[in-house]
Structure 1
Amino acid sequence: MINLGIIGTNWISGQFVEAALSTGEYELTAVYSRKLATAQAFGEPFGEVEYATDLHTFFGIQHMDTVYIASPNSLHFGHAKEAILAGKNVIVEKPAFSTPEEMDEIISLANEQHVFFFEAARNFHEKGFQKVRDLLPLKNEILGASFTYMKYSSRYDQVLDGGEPNIFSPHFSGGALMDLGVYLVYTAVAWFGMPNEVHYFARKVSTGVDGLGWGILRYDLFDVTIQPGKIGDSYATSEVYFDKGTLVLNGVNAIEDVVYHDRNLKQREKIEIHPAENPMAEEALNFAKVISHPTDSKYGILYEEWVELARNVNQVIYDLRKSAGIIFDADSK
């Protein structure tokens, strides 16, 4: 059984705990928050849990072996580093880290300490995501792709009122690309590999980060366009274009509906997708398989693939951000 600790008491942490417990592989062991009442309010629905209001005490809980980190983006690196040095596996909510330097240091440190680092990019671990990837033709038969995930954030209202909530703050590594854009970049890199070059054209908000943007990922034979956004809504589908047809998806952040339009046969083929009830259950189960079988070469190979993908996605997002002149506090560390 994996003894799980939690940093970050927002809704996504609650959803991950529910997903993890549903697999039968985890127990919630500890919750950290700067305020005891906040930690207790989060943990009490899950039974008997230890609470900590300082990180030294939290990481000192011996029987806690794995920490899920869902603090603000810019804090992920420090929290992950301290957890690894305490001998804990870390599951870091996407985007795991702000820069390639942070990513490289955590990967190296996890290897040195013989623990696991996972980026919680849930869409990549969904069976529907893998099913679509298996359906894709050879790259020389792909004409391009377009991925969109644009959803208005109520916290943008605070920006309009002169505020700077974490998700829109350069101090906390915020913005549309770092939030919703992660799903789009994960899809492109997982399905097509590393692009040759990238460009990002951002509409910045008053805080200096991107409220929405348009990205181009250039490959040898085709381009992939991405459109993340948090200051407006998009109802567009995501699409992959082939020589002989088009694959239309409801989205790539959570694939629920897929249709292939065959140009030659002039017909539509619906691809059956069966998403999990909790969208984080599949990633939680995958992480548990690796943690519970540390010497199994099959899971070891999978783990190395996930780590390399996380590294590559981090690099692409960093390059996109830099091309748009979006600067974070983390860049100067």
Structure 2
Amino acid sequence: MIRFGVIGSSFISQKFIETAHSTQKFQLSAVFSRQLERAQEFAAPFQSAQAFADWQEFLAQDLDAIYIASPNALHYEQAKAVLLAGKHAIVEKPMVCHPDQLAELLRIAKENKVFLLEAARNTYEAAFESIGSFLRNHTILGAQFSYAKYSSKMPELLAGTEPNIFSEKMAGGALMDLGVYALYASVTLFGPAQKVAYQAQQLPNTVDLNGFGYLDYGHFQVGIFAGKNLTSTLVNEIYTDKGTLVLDSCQHIQKATFYYHDGSHIDLDIHAPSDNMLEECLSFIHIIEKGDQVLADSLTQRAEAVHQALYDMRQVAGIHFSSDPI
């Protein structure tokens, strides 16, 4: 049984706990919040969980892993402390705000013989293995990946407040949220891009509400679209010399259909679980229990490519965070 703690009391933390418990391999043992009452309220439904507002006391608990789902700008320092405490860190995407932070965390994880894992759920999907296998006999001509969903925090923003998801102090924005899924789809299937760019509709604080980007692979390009102030119903497409593969999404993929140039089509064999966090939880369990360094290293390579792309895209668009190097 993997004893784990949670930092953050949002909906995503609640969902992770539910999915983790459903595997019968995870047990929530500790919850941290800066407000003890909030931690107690969040931990109350789980008899095995203690609530903490003292950071050092929380880190001193007998835990195997800690899931970090705080605002983006806090991930690096919290993950660093978790790794130095000798515990595996499972960090909600995006893991960091700058590629140098990721390099530092990976060094610390290696020195302390623990794993640093990013909870970017679509890179763990078996659907991508099926898609990648199907595409091996095709010449890739391009792709389009999009994920845009109207944020529940938009009313607050429109009312004149600045929620964390739209704050430059908290490293918010569309690219640093839903855009991560589009980037992971591209990197998981095609690897690191040679060059990237991004143009966005931005707030006065430079944080993006939505934006279009591209990844240049030399002999083909991949377009991405991410948004938090609107909802997109676009399908995702991969273009090849033999036809077009249409995906219902770039994350939690449940349907993939290939349309040949002659008009015929076939459906790929995709079996996605109803719980969109299950595959990542099972992967975390496998890596932690088996000590699968090969899989962990493969995921690290993807994470490095995604975080470099995120940073480079922000520089092109002029999206600046308080946590950025001077």
Q: TM-score range by the shorter chain?
A: over 0.9
CA–CA distance in structure 2, aligned partners of residues 103 and 324 of structure 1: 22
CA displacement, residues 105-139 of structure 1 (integer Å, 9 cap, x when unaligned): 00001001111100011111112222212211357
2:220 to 215, 219, 222: 222
Specify the alignment match of 1:52 in structure 2.
Answer: 52
Q: How does 1:132-171 map to 2 (within 5 A)?
A: 132-137=131-136, 141-171=139-169
Specify the alignment match of 2:111 in structure 1.
Answer: 112
1:292 aligns to 2:289 (yes or no) = yes
Specify the alignment match of 1:282 in structure 2.
Answer: 279
Equivalent pair of 2:128/2:188 in contact (CA under 8 Å): no
Q: CA deviation at 1:207?
A: 3.1
Unaligned runs of 5+ in 1: none
CA displacement, residues 39-65 of structure 1 (integer Å, 9 cap, x when unaligned): 22222222221111121110011x212
Equivalent pair of 1:143/1:241 in contact (CA under 8 Å): yes
1:226 match: secondary structure? strand
2:323 match: secondary structure? helix
1:17 match: secondary structure? helix
Q: How does 1:118-133 map to 2 (within 5 A)?
A: 118-133=117-132
CA–CA distance in structure 2, aligned partners of residues 285 and 228 of structure 1: 27
Specify the alignment match of 1:78 in structure 2.
Answer: 77
Q: How does 1:241-256 map to 2 (within 5 A)?
A: 241-256=239-254
Specify the alignment match of 2:255 in structure 1.
Answer: 257
CA displacement, residues 297-332 of structure 1 (integer Å, 9 cap, x when unaligned): xx2211111111111110011111111011111113
1:275 match: secondary structure? coil
Segments ≥4 residues shifted beyond 6 Å: none
1:307 to 268, 277, 300: 300
1:34 match: secondary structure? coil
Equivalent pair of 2:130/2:269 in contact (CA under 8 Å): no
CA RMSD, Structure 1 to Structure 2 (Å): 1.3
CA–CA distance in structure 2, aligned partners of residues 126 and 46 of structure 1: 28
CA–CA distance in structure 1, aligned partners of residues 28 and 103 of structure 2: 29
Q: CA deviation at 1:206?
A: 3.3
CA–CA distance in structure 2, aligned partners of residues 131 and 111 of structure 1: 31
Q: CA deviation at 1:273?
A: 2.0
Specify the alignment match of 2:175 in structure 1.
Answer: 177
1:96 match: secondary structure? coil
CA–CA distance in structure 2, aligned partners of residues 219 and 201 of structure 1: 18
Q: CA deviation at 1:36?
A: 2.3
Equivalent pair of 1:210/1:326 in contact (CA under 8 Å): yes
CA displacement, residues 159-186 of structure 1 (integer Å, 9 cap, x when unaligned): 2222111000110000000000000001
Identity within the alignment, % = 42
CA–CA distance in structure 2, aligned partners of residues 99 and 27 of structure 1: 31
Question: TM-score normalized by structure 1?
Answer: 0.95
Question: TM-score normalized by structure 2?
Answer: 0.97
Q: Per residue, is there more helix in 1 or in 2?
A: 1
Specify the alignment match of 2:265 in structure 1.
Answer: 268
CA–CA distance in structure 2, aligned partners of residues 195 and 19 of structure 1: 33
How many pairs does the alignment contain? 326
Equivalent pair of 1:19/1:284 in contact (CA under 8 Å): yes
Q: CA deviation at 1:67?
A: 0.2
Paired amino acid for 2:240: F
Q: CA deviation at 1:262?
A: 1.2
Q: How does 1:231-250 map to 2 (within 5 A)?
A: 231-250=229-248
CA displacement, residues 84-118 of structure 1 (integer Å, 9 cap, x when unaligned): 11111100000000001111100001001111100
Equivalent pair of 2:128/2:189 in contact (CA under 8 Å): no
Paired amino acid for 1:303: A
Paired amino acid for 2:141: L
